Structure formats: structure tokens, C-alpha cells
Amino acid sequence: MTFAAVIGLLTACGVYLLLRRRTFTIVLGLSQLGYAVNLFLFAMGRLRINAAPILDHGPAPTDPLPQALVLTAIVIGFAMTAFVLALALRGRGEWGDDRVDDDRDDIATLQGRRLLPKPKPGATR
Amino acid sequence: MNPLLILPILIPLCSGCLLLLGRHGVRSARGLALLSALAQLVLAVLLVDSAGRGDIQVYALGNWPPPQGIVLVLDRLAALMLLVTAVLALPVLIFASTGADRGGRFFHPLLQFQLVGINGAFLTGDLFNLFVFFEILLIASYGLLLHGLGAQRTRAGLQYSVLNLVGSSLFLIAAGLLYGITGTLNLAGLSVAIAVADPADAPLLATAGLLLLVVFGLKAALFPLYFWLPRSYSAACAPVAALFAIMTKVGVYAILRLGTLLFGAQAGALAGLLQPWLWPLSLITLALGAAGTLAAGTLPLLTAYLVVTSVGTLLSGIALHSAAAVGGALYYLLHTTWLTGALFLLADLIAERRGASAAILRNGPRIERPALLGGLYLIGAIALAGLPPLSGFVGKLLLLQAAPSGARAWLWSVLLGSGLFSLVALSRAGSALFWRSNMRALPASAPPGNAVMAVVLLLSTSVVLSIAGEPVIEGLRATAAQALDARQYTGAVLEYMEEPR
């Protein structure tokens, strides 16, 4: 019950942060969602404690698959967080701010205009 | 075990690694990439031929039997999708080799890795493995989307990657749910387990199924999840956008598998879980995509909206869930993947000749010797708008004929209406680019021969599809019938699992 509540809370925080306008909060939201997913995979994966991980070592071996799933999910999530951060930094360098979306962009895309980046922010910002 | 099954993954993987490791000059990198694409094309033809005999082939990776091991499964549908990919990839590579690949060092390896992901997603018979191949193709596509850089691409790339990361999280949640309830991730195993599931588990299974629909709908650009597509595709450089024409079809393929294999007729209480969602959403996608073509201000953006329209068309055929409708949708899939690819490439050739106006649909410099590019555009526009005698017309006709009387009014009005919208948009774009220009032509060289050849190759598929219509449609009907019959698929995989080794 507590476990489910923790997963739910993590997911809710992740989704809330994802809906923000700035890239940094979105990256935070993505990682929270990632944690929630990993915990969820463990919870759904018929995890058993004190069982041998190898066949022929005891009556009921533990299921190795959830661990493999979580490991894969962690590796991919970790790499993608790094990539999105790099992309966000680059976007900030090119655009002068870290907005993710803007109506002006949509209109510019539709008309085929190249939207000019804002002037570089001063040292005070 | 047919060892050919693993090659569509191994060939691009090896050539991608070779391209990444060695210090290649531009020429040798292009040569290697082209060789790999050519090999994949030959292989895809061989596999289509071998799957065409009707039995489903299974290949266990490392000879580990399922459920621990992962299987690759080749049926007619998987072989067909491999062929679609290979036929698209070769001209795209030829086009990229005329100069677009110079924008960054890793274009060719990334493109090969993208092909690994796409081919793997079509072949795999395991849900989690499908997730992994999705990630491979997405990670490569993030890199390709940014190829050539530019502020526009950075922002489009950021939105694209964040959205797909959220999609991946949802995919994992759905996979976890399915594994927790059924204890397997093998697609055939899941199919059997869902069919005999405890009614108490049905709501959870339905949740997982609909979550998967959201994930695949995001990849396929189904309403309301298509808003990322127009900006990403129109920001990408031409060969990348053309290759991305197959990416939405990976999502469509996954939805088809989900609707037939997991929640098809055999699924008991959960049979037909997706149809009530898929049918209205596909029609809305179709209508909104057509509205987008009218609003688009550039040729790549217009083409991107044509991709959205095509996804709506395909999914409406899949939602009808009969062999005739799915067969018609598969015909339309071949047509639309190759033709939208051609139009993305052609838009780039036109843009290069218009200076600052690029592919913006406004008064600009005249195009010198417009007969060649204009003629190619005319052929592409006729095919994509669905006018006879080219393949778009045949595909739409097949779909319209396949609609049962209850669905006919909706499908006919939306599909024909959107066809009219695309026709208006395409002819307006053509007249803006080729006729409505009173400025002097810019001094530009003739388009490179290889680039024109790539466009011609892709456009000629439309002619081939309509001339060889009879046998193609026959084959596609058989493909659709096999895809709709989940028992055949699960039977082949389960039989393989029980074989002594």
C-alpha cells in the first residue's frame, strides 16, 4: 500500500513537472517518472526475497526477468536524461532562454519563417 | 531455424559499427552505407519470397528457447515491412550522398543504427524487445533530427525527445502490467494468456492494452498525439525527413499487431478492445491532417501534414479489421511511405533553386528549366492526392470498397473530403512554386543527377504499384489475412517452443 502510494506520488510529481515550461523542470520530471517506472516494474515483477537466482539451486528460483527489465530501463533512462540535458543546454545557448514551447514558434513554423533567437542575455540574468 | 532472419538486424548493425569505428573518408563511408542498404534490399526481397510461401518462421536468439530467450518471428507482414524500409532507405542514402551527409560526421552510422531499430521492431516477437528496438530507432532518430544543426532543429529535437521519453515510460508501465498479470512478455505467449485470462484481471489487461495504444499512437502520430510531427519533420534535413516517413509506420505496424495478436478475435472478453478508440481517432486525424495541408506555408510542412493524413487513412483501415480493409491499408502504406519520402526529397531540390524563398509557398525566383522538377512534382502530387491512374487512387479505392455499410458514410465522406483538401493544397503549392514567380531566376547549377535519380526511383514505385496492381493486391490480401489470424502466429511460435533441441 505504501509502496503503491510512493509510486503514485512519484508519477504525479513527474507529470506535474513535465507540464512546466522550462527544460530544467522537465528533465527533473522525466527522472521522477523514470524512478516511478523502475519501482513499478519491480512491484509487478513477482519479486521474491531469499531465492536463488540460478536454476537447479533450490526448489523455486527467483525470476531474473524483472531485474533485466529494470536494468535496461535504468541504462536507457540514464543515457536519455544526459542527452536531453545536453540538448537543453545547447538550446539555451542558441536561443538565449530555455523555454520548451511558444506560440510564436508555431506561427513561424506554419509560415516557414526562421524565427530569430532572442539577443543573448546579459550577465545579470 | 532460418538464419536469414537475423541478418536484417546484423547487416546495418555491423556496417554502422564499422562506420563508427574506422576513420572513413566521405567516399568510403558512402560506399559502405550504400552497400549495406543494397544488401538489405536483396535480403528483404528474399525474405518476402520465403514468407510468401505461407508458413511463419521463428528464430530464437542464441538458441535460447522462450520464455527466457527472445524470438524473432517472420510472417508475411514483417517481411513486407522490411521491404518497405529497404526500398525507402536506398534512394534516401543515394540522395544524402549528394551532399546532405556532410552536415555532420555521424550521419551514416546513425542512419544504419536507425535501420537496425526499424528492422528489429518489425521482426521481434517479444514485447520488451520491441521496446528496446523502439529505443534504438528513437535514439538514432534524435541524432539524425539534429543533423546539420540550427536553432530550429534544436528546439524541435528537444520537444521530440521529451515526448518520446514520456512515451517510453508509458511503454514500460504497460509492459510491467502485462508481465505482472501474465508472467510472459513473448507476444505469442501474451496472446494465449490474454485469451484465457481471469475475468478479474480484464480491467488491468485493458489498461495495459490502451496504454500501449497511447504509446504506439504517439509514434504513429494519431490524434491527439500528432502535434510533434509537423514541426520535427519540417525542421529535419530532407533525407532524414524522408527516412522518417517509415517511422510513423512502425507505430502503425505496432498498433496492427496489438489489435490482432493481443486483442484480436481470440481474446475473449477483451476482443476488439482498440476498435472503439481507433475508429473515431483515425478519422479525426485524417480530417485534421487534411486541414493542416491547407494551412501549411512551406512544402516540407505540407508533406509532413500529408504524413499525418496517411496515418489517419491507414489506421481507419486497420480499425475496420477485415482482410479486405487491412489489405487496402497495407497497399496504401507502401504507396504513402515511398511517395511522401519522394516529396520530402523533391522539396529540398526545389528549395535549393529558390534562394531565400526556399520552399516557402510565396512569390520567389523563377526556377530555371522547370520541366524536370515540375514534372516530378506533378507526378508526386497526382499520386499523393489520390488521382487516377497512380497508386494513391488504387489504395483509396480499395479502402472505400472495403468499408462495411455501417462505416461507409463516415469513411467515404472523410477520406474523399481530405483527398479534396490535399488536392487543393498540392495544386496551390505547385502553382506558387512553379508559376506564380515573377522574379529573375537565380544562378543555380542543375540538380545533381543522383539526387534526381533517387526521387525518380521513389516516384516510380507508384507506377509499379499501379501497373502490377493485381498480383500486389493478391499478396497483400494474403498478408492481411495472415496478420488477422493470431492463432497461426501463436501456433507457429508455441510449436517452436515445444520442439526438442
- The pLDDT value recorded for residue A101 is 66
pLDDT tens for the 501 residues of chain B, in order:
688 889 999 999 999 999 888 777 888 889 999 999 999 999 999 999 998 888 888 888 888 777 678 889 999 999 999 999 999 999 999 999 888 888 778 889 999 999 999 999 999 999 999 999 999 999 999 888 888 767 777 778 888 888 999 999 999 999 999 988 888 888 988 998 888 888 888 889 999 999 999 999 999 988 888 888 888 888 888 899 999 999 999 999 999 999 999 988 888 788 888 888 999 999 999 999 999 999 888 898 999 999 999 999 999 999 998 889 999 999 999 999 999 999 999 998 888 888 777 778 777 777 777 888 889 999 999 999 988 888 889 999 999 998 888 888 889 999 999 999 999 999 999 888 888 777 777 777 778 888 899 999 999 999 999 898 889 999 999 999 999 888 888 888 888 877 765
- The pLDDT value recorded for residue A102 is 65
Q: Do B159 and A94 touch (CB under 8 A)?
A: no
CATH of residue A58: 1.10.287
Q: Do B132 and A72 touch (CB under 8 A)?
A: yes
- For testing the chain A interface, which of B169, B233, B305 should be mutated: the one with the most A CBs within 10 Å? B169
Residue A104: which pLDDT band, with cuts at 50, 70 and 90? low
Q: Do A112 and B154 touch (CB under 8 A)?
A: no
- The pLDDT value recorded for residue B309 is 93
CA nearest neighbour of B429 among B490, B391, B384: B384
Residue A122 lies in a domain: no
Who wins on pLDDT, A116 or B357? B357
Residue A119 lies in a domain: no
Who wins on pLDDT, B429 or A95? B429
Residues 6+ apart with CB under 8 A from A25: A17
Residue A74 lies in a domain: yes
Residue A46: its chain B contacts at CB < 8 A?
180, 183
Residue A32 lies in a domain: yes
Give the three-class secondary structure for A83: helix
Q: Do B176 and A69 touch (CB under 8 A)?
A: yes
Q: Which residue of A has its CA nearest to B164?
A: A80
The answer to whether B234 contacts chain A (CB < 8 Å) is yes
Nearest by CB to B161, from A40, A76, A83: name it. Answer: A83
Q: Do B158 and A100 touch (CB under 8 A)?
A: yes
The answer to whether B157 contacts chain A (CB < 8 Å) is yes
- The pLDDT value recorded for residue A119 is 47
The answer to whether B106 contacts chain A (CB < 8 Å) is no
Give the three-class secondary structure for B73: strand
Question: How are beta strands B71-74 and B57-60 bridged, if at all?
Answer: antiparallel
Torsion angle, alpha carbons of B13, B18, B20, B21, to 10: 130
Residue A100 lies in a domain: yes
Number of domains within chain A: 1
Give, in order, the Cα–Cα distances in Å from B176 to each of A15, B131, B133, B208: 19, 12, 17, 9
Contact A50, A118 (CB under 8 A): no
Q: Which residue of B has its CA nearest to A68?
A: B128
Nearest by CB to A45, from B162, B179, B296: name it. Answer: B179
pTM: 0.92
Residue B142: its chain A contacts at CB < 8 A?
83, 87
Nearest by CB to B360, from A80, A101, A112: name it. Answer: A112
| Helix B405-434 vs helix B275-295: crossing angle, to nearest 10 | 20
DSSP letters of B309-356? Answer: HHHHHHHHHHHH-SHHHHHHHHHHHHHHHHHHHHHHHHHHHHHHTTGG
**Assembly ipTM:** 0.84
What phi and psi values does residue B388 have, to the nearest 5 degrees?
-65, 150
Residue B154: its chain A contacts at CB < 8 A?
87, 90-91, 94-95
Q: Do B361 and A112 touch (CB under 8 A)?
A: yes
Domain that holds residue A88: 2-111
Give, in order, the Cα–Cα distances in Å from B459 to each of B90, B378, B468: 13, 11, 15
CA nearest neighbour of B142 among B117, B123, B119: B117
- The pLDDT value recorded for residue A111 is 67
